[in-house]
Amino acid sequence: MKLGAFSISLNVKDIKASRSFYEKLGFEVFGGDMAENWLIMKNEDTLIGLFQGMFEKNMLTFNPGWDNNVKNLENFPDVRELQRQFKEQGLEIEGEEDENTTGPAYFSLVDPDGNPILFDQHI
């Protein structure tokens, strides 16, 4: 099962301080908008998202339809197909998407330890 590009999305208290810290670890700003309190940072193939005031917990994030350079893939499982497969396996979906729609969509799961996992398709 292909889930798409992987990153960790961090709930940060001070995006400027977090940016400075991760830059010292070799990460560079790859995307986002500091004025909107979110940045995507990259170090080789490792992606992290810094998000101030947008959600409660750190979360694992998968982006169906993207590679690790945020390039659109031609062939990928649509987020609604992933949702359907997870539901068939008995997983509880949060923010369920209408399976009759197309285009950008997202849903999330929570693992047995309470860690949120976001599936966020942008195309």
**Per-residue pLDDT tens digits for 45-104:** 999 999 999 999 999 999 999 998 889 999 999 999 999 999 999 999 999 999 999 999
Q: Is the dihedral of CA 45, 102, 55, 86 positive or negative?
A: negative
Percentage of the chain beyond pLDDT 70 is: 100
In the predicted structure, residue 1 carries a pLDDT above the cut 90: no
Angle of CA points 1, 45, 38, to nearest 5° = 95
Helices (H), 7-106: 15-24, 79-88
Homologous superfamily (CATH) of 5-121 is 2,3-Dihydroxybiphenyl 1,2-Dioxygenase, domain 1 (3.10.180.10)
Enter the pTM of the model: 0.90
